[in-house]
């Protein structure tokens, strides 16, 4: 219940016992039923508010908040809580999820620091028992409600198009610590359009663009797709790419490194030992999967998936050049 958004008359109806009528409640308070109804937009005396909390069996703060709402002093919970200090106890979430843990609570807030410390002491001891061997951490800290500011950040939206659906979609934004330079320098907040095309015929089958605004992303990609369509450079919805699963794996690996270098302006890092080990396993494993266009890959020879800088070049010793070409379109919108 959001007490600060409910007036006192509403809170009475919400908390009044089912077997107690408003008339009976009014009698317990020593007022008339009509007086209860008037508490929609006015406050009763302080002693009545405290007595009402006892009759309803509710915390005094809940009833007081509703009374302040009736009196016009508050409208939202923020009016009551913003800037107030509470003691927060944080608990190891892994322990709270244990099947034998007797309380699945990962955090609790108290207005009394002594009660918070006691809860933390007992909770920590029980977590150690429930979790078995090891230390379970319960931390206690003072916080001010509503005073933690979000760090500086930027949201980037990505618009995507593919030939099969022939539809532009914009997903949820991803968060970055700052606006990428390539977008900050753009007049409309949209970057250049990146496309994937088939090396065999030069037809574009995928496109994407990043922007600071979802509408800008959609407009930028839409304009590029319309231009490519007018030039006859798009792969049709019914046409197959002919790409295999391993083609995409090898190409995506190279593009991830290429894009990271483009965005950061720094040389690409070396592959980690863990990733190198994974690639060696992939080299030896047959792919019993369906290809991107529904092809059966069970009969494919085992293929080496090597790191290819910037796309293109040889994927392995037998397959020839990368069948996917990734490129950035000239930004003719500016």
Q: Is the pLDDT confidence value at 315 over 60?
A: no
pLDDT at position 68 is 93
Is the backbone of residue 241 left (phi > 0), alpha (psi -120 to 50) or beta?
A: alpha
Are the beta carbons of 202 and 330 closer than 8 angstroms?
no
pLDDT of residue 148: 77
CATH class, range 8-80: mainly alpha
Mean pLDDT calculated for residue range 104-110: 77
Please write the tens of the pLDDT for every residue from 278-297. 655 554 544 433 344 444 33
Q: Looking at residue 30, what is its pLDDT? A: 93
The encoded tokens of residue 296 equal: 């059966």
pLDDT in tens, 201-229: 999 999 999 999 999 999 999 999 999 99
Question: What is the crossing angle of helices 46-56 and 60-70, to 10°?
Answer: 130
First to last CA, the chain: 53
Question: Could you give the C-alpha distances from 215 to 52, 142, 160, 194, 210, in angstroms and in order?
Answer: 53, 42, 13, 17, 11
SS (H, E, C) the chain: CCHHHCCHHHHHHHHCCCCCCHHHHHHHHCCCHHHHHHCCCCCCCHHHHHHHHHHHCCCHHHHHHHHHHHCCCCCCHHHHHCCCEEEEEEECHHHHCCCCCCCCCCEEEECCHHHHHHHHHHHHHHHHHHHCCCCCCEEEEEEECCCCCCCCCEEEEEEEEECCCCEEEECCCEEECCCCHHHHCCCCCECCCEEEEECCCCCEEEEEEEECCHHHHHHHHHHHHHHHHHCCCECCCCCCCCCCHHHHHHHHHHHHHHHHHHHHCCCCCCCCHHHHHHHHHHHHCCCCCECCCCCECCCCCCCCCCCCCCCCCEEECCCEECCEEEEECCCCCC
What's the confidence (pLDDT) of residue 54?
94
Percent of the chain with pLDDT over 90: 41
265 sits in the region (left: phi over 0; alpha: psi -120 to 50; else beta) called left
Whether pTM exceeds 0.85:
no
pLDDT recorded at residue 295: 41
Of 192, 259, 263, the C-alpha closest to 223 is 192
Q: How confident is the model at residue 331 (pLDDT cuts 50, 70, 90)?
A: very low
277 versus 156: the higher-pLDDT residue is: 156
Q: What is the pLDDT of residue 269?
A: 56
Q: What is the mean pLDDT of residues 7-21?
A: 90
pLDDT at 306: 39
CATH 1.10.260, the chain: domain bounds: 8-80
pLDDT of residue 224: 96
- Cα(250)–Cα(298) distance, rounded to whole angstroms? 18
pLDDT of amino acid 137: 72
Residue 77 CB contacts under 8 Å (≥ 6 apart), including other chains: 2, 3, 4, 5, 65
What mean pLDDT value characterizes the chain? 78
């Amino acid at each position: 219940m959001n007490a600060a958004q409910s007036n006192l008359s509403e809170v009475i109806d919400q908390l009044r016992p089912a077997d107690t009528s408003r008339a009976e409640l009014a009698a317990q308070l020593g007022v008339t039923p009509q007086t209860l109804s008037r508490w929609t937009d006015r406050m009763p005396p302080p002693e009545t508010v405290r007595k009402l909390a006892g009759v309803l069996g509710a915390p005094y703060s809940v009833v007081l908040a509703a009374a302040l709402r009736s009196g016009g002093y508050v409208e939202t919970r923020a009016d009551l809580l913003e800037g107030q200090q509470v003691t927060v106890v944080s608990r190891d979430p892994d322990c709270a999820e244990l099947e034998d843990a007797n309380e699945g609570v990962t955090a609790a807030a108290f207005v009394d620091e002594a009660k918070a410390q006691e809860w933390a002491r007992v909770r920590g001891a029980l977590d150690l028992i429930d979790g078995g061997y090891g230390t379970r951490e319960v931390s206690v800290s003072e916080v001010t409600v509503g005073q933690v500011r979000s760090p500086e950040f930027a949201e980037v939206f990505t618009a995507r198009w593919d030939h099969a659906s022939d539809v532009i979609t914009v997903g949820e934004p991803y968060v970055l610590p700052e606006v990428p330079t390539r977008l900050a320098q753009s007049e409309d907040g949209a970057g250049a359009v990146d496309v994937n095309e088939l090396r065999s015929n030069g037809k574009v089958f995928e496109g994407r663009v990043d922007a600071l605004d979802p509408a800008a992303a959609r407009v930028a990609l839409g304009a590029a797709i319309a231009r490519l369509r007018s030039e006859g450079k798009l792969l049709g919805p019914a046409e197959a790419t002919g790409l295999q699963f391993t083609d995409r794996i090898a190409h995506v690996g190279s593009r991830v490194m290429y894009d990271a270098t483009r965005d950061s302006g720094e040389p690409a890092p070396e592959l980690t030992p863990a990733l190198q080990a994974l690639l060696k396993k992939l080299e030896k494993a047959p792919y019993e999967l369906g290809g991107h266009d529904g092809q059966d890959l069970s009969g494919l020879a085992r293929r080496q998936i090597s790191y290819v800088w910037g796309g293109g070049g040889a994927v392995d010793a037998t397959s020839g050049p990368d069948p996917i070409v990734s490129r950035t379109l000239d930004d003719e919108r500016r």
